[in-house]
Amino acid sequence: MKIWGLLILSLSLLTAGVPAKLPEAALAGVGTPQTPRVWVSWDRYYDWKGVTEILTQLEKAYPELASVSSIGKSYKGKDIWLITITNPRTGKPEEKPGFYIDGNIHSNEVQGTEVALYTAWYLLEMYHHNSLIRELVDTRTFYIVPTINPDARDYFLHEPNTPHSPRSGLIPRDDDGDGLVDEDDFDDLDGDGFIVQMRKKDPLGQWRSDPRDPRLMVRVGPDEQGEYTLLGWEGIDNDGDGRVNEDRPGFYDPNRNWPWRWMPRYVQFGADEYPFNLPETRAVGDFWLNHPNIAGAQSYHNAGGMILRGPGDPEDVYPLPDVQLYEAIAHRGEQILPGYRYLVVYKDMYPVYGGELNWFYSMQGALTFTNELWTPFNFFRDSVSVRNWFGNIRKQYAFDRYVLFQDAIIPWKKFHHPQYGEIEIGGVKKHYTRMPPGFLLLEECHRNMAFTLYHAYHLPLLQFGNIKQRNLNNGIKEILVEVRNVRLQPTHLAIDLKHRISPPDQAQLQGKGIRIVAGFVVTDPYLGVAVEQPHRPAVLKVRNVPGKGRVWLKWLVKGRGQATVTFRSVKGGTIRQSIQVP
């Protein structure tokens, strides 16, 4: 009895969103922490309380690498949590290239939170066991915000919903223009916690049961007899206006609320009143403005298996060097993420004005991807177009029948509706189609994290190369310094240079007993071509350090002694090296 009692307690803790301590395994699979300090079950979805608990445990287990803070409050007063991960012994967090990750901007697109949490967990748990992870944490600063829509995330998890609701946050809005707010939400008619479809028998209806699976509704042909009329999602006309479910919580779109190419509601549905008027997006915006070292970013949405980049509208044009960098990283991502496709938002989906990833890139100069998590590839091991994602209904139902043992779809049952009379209700549960089932969630987390870490790996990584000295006439010495960038991304993206988002990089030589006579940026070290900077020659301004490239700097000095060469780049990090000037 004691064993059963412990098992029940363990399961109840997991269900409540609190990670339980699990027994240690004899052998962990490759790529998995052997004995994690923080046990988390990655086959379920955590509410705000559960997210808070996981972050708190990670900070407690790894205080030398992780710190948890709040970047602001949601509309309902929940903290928008941030976990910062870096090794402060290898440099100040703000003096390293920053990589930002968030999820769940749309409240029903919940698994982005789990991918972000998993990334934080994996970086910390593998730091002492994997040299590549250790290098990433030593040389970058990760800023991870698991959910930027905590109010409506909890609303999705705890309240009856469809797979597609709510997309919005929970700030009240009058959707139907009747002077009332949020007065006609879905109604869970049978109280099972899910909003599914309603149908009514009708010999002139346009739908019938699929003979291969009676749970599935299919349209009849033009010369076929129908059986049912579909009435939409479970609901009642609560306000007597002749419509059902027309004024649900919200509605606005947090991913249309960013300043870059923002458009009002009559152009871009969901834009709301003006950019950054929502407390959640404003909190993220303020955080970014206070952390200009962020050089790369990843946002997680669902669904359809996409690696997206901007621009969001056809009038916005990305410079070719940045497009080439996007393609180099994304094509590797297609290999890491089977079934995912690299796409451009406006061209391959639809126009998006005021989108988050466009603001991150075009106004903050950070290379940014949005991944639409979960792909039909996982259902039936082939790839389909975005438009067919929700159209593969038969295969989704077959997957539920043969793999999930009919746990994801509620069979039709009779119900007496106060307005429609005798109807039937049934259909897909809220956490199916857009979200992975539990046994596939871990794979989705790990593969998407792997893509993100590949991106983070290729943020600028600066190193000093050759440092040469030689004596000239009249006691003057020449110091020639090579600064290398050994990763793909330059210290300034082309869009950054175009809009002058970040200040120029700076190289400084200083030391007691050392007087700077002149300073130069060398354009050709082999031919000795250099451009002098006559004003403040000790601090040279450098336009950019290319990806997989270098710059050469030259100073003419007098004196001798210990000196320090410092190279500062807002997005590329800061490096220092001491030299002895004889």
Per-residue model confidence as pLDDT tens digits over 262-298: 999 999 999 999 999 999 999 999 999 999 999 999 9
Give the CA-trace dihedral at 136, 138, 140, 146, to 10 degrees.
70
Identify whether 116 is preceded by a cis peptide bond (ω within 30 of 0).
Answer: no
Q: Are residues 409 and 509 in the same domain?
A: no
In this structure, the answer to whether residues 264 and 290 fall within a common structural domain is yes
Percentage, residues of the chain above pLDDT 70: 93
Q: Residue 546 sits in a domain of what CATH number?
A: 2.60.40.10
Based on C-alpha coordinates, what's the Rg of the chain? 28
Return the number of other C-beta atoms located less than 10 Å from residue 320's C-beta. Answer: 9
- Strand 213-219 relative to strand 306-309: parallel, antiparallel, unpaired? unpaired
Q: Contact, 570 vs 500, CB < 8 A?
A: no
Q: Whole-angstrom Cα distance, residue 202 to residue 242?
A: 20
| pLDDT tens figures, 406-457 | 999 999 999 999 999 999 999 999 999 999 999 999 999 999 999 999 999 9
Determine the Cα angle at 362 with ends 263 and 108, to 5°. 60
**Are both 363 and 444 inside the same structural domain?**
yes
Average pLDDT over residues 175-194: 91
Do both 344 and 400 map to the same domain?
A: no
Alpha carbons 43 and 440: distance in angstroms, whole number: 8
Q: Which helix (H) or strand (E) holds 508?
A: strand 505-510
Mean pLDDT of 143-163: 97
Amino acid identity, residue 355? G
Section 470-492 average pLDDT: 96
Mark whether 265 and 347 lie in a shared domain.
Answer: yes
Is residue 19 pLDDT above 90, yes or no?
no
User: Within a domain: residue 350?
Assistant: yes
pLDDT at 343 over 50: yes
Task: Examine residue 164 and state whether it is found in any structural domain, yes or no.
Answer: no
Cα dihedral: 347, 352, 358, 362 (round 10): 80
Scanning the structure block, which residue is given the tokens 């993206």?
Answer: 493
63 has a pLDDT exceeding 50 = yes
Q: Is residue 9 included in any domain, yes or no?
A: yes
For residue 383, being part of any structural domain is answered with no
Q: Report yes or no on 167 lying in a domain.
A: no
163 in a structural domain: no
State whether 70 and 143 are in the same domain.
yes
Closest CA to 199 of 179, 177, 222, 227: 227
**At residue 5, does pLDDT exceed 60?**
no
47 and 90 both lie in a single domain: yes
**Domain presence at residue 165:** no
pLDDT in tens, 501-517: 999 999 999 999 999 99
Over the stretch 205-260, which tens digit does the pLDDT of each residue have?
Answer: 999 999 999 999 999 999 999 999 999 999 999 998 999 999 888 889 999 999 99
pLDDT at residue 308 is higher than 90: yes
Q: Virtual CA dihedral for 409, 410, 411, 414, nearest 10 degrees?
A: -150
For residue 24, what pLDDT band results from cuts at 50, 70 and 90? low
Q: Which residues of 95-124 are buried (b: 16+ CB within 10 A; e: fewer)?
A: bbbbbbbbbbbbbbbbbbbbbbbbbbbbbb
Between residues 354 and 393, the one the model is more confident about: 354
Q: pLDDT, tens digit, for every residue of 355-391?
A: 999 999 999 999 999 999 998 776 655 544 444 444 5
The CATH number of the domain holding residue 267 is 3.40.630.10
Inter-CA distances, 442 with 336, 376, 434, Å: 15, 16, 15
Please state the rounded mean pLDDT for residues 99-128.
97
Q: 129 and 35 in one domain? A: yes
**pLDDT at residue number 22:** 59
Q: Which residue has the higher pLDDT, 83 or 182?
A: 83
Tell me how many domains the chain contains: 3
Flag whether 512 is in a domain.
yes
* pLDDT computed for residue 159 by the predictor: 96
- pLDDT for res 175: 86
Q: Does 317 share its domain with 397?
A: no
Domain enclosing residue 357, as ranges: 2-156+255-378+436-457
Residue 20 vs residue 348, higher pLDDT:
348
Please tell me the predicted confidence (pLDDT) of residue 153: 97
Q: Can you tell me the distance from the alpha carbon of 470 to that of 477, in angstroms, rounded to the nearest whole number?
A: 6
In a shared domain, residues 332 and 445:
yes
Q: pLDDT class for 21, splitting at 50, 70, 90?
A: low
182 shares its domain with 312: no
Residues 515 and 416 in one domain: no
For residue 193, pLDDT beyond 70: yes
Higher-pLDDT residue of 133, 246: 133
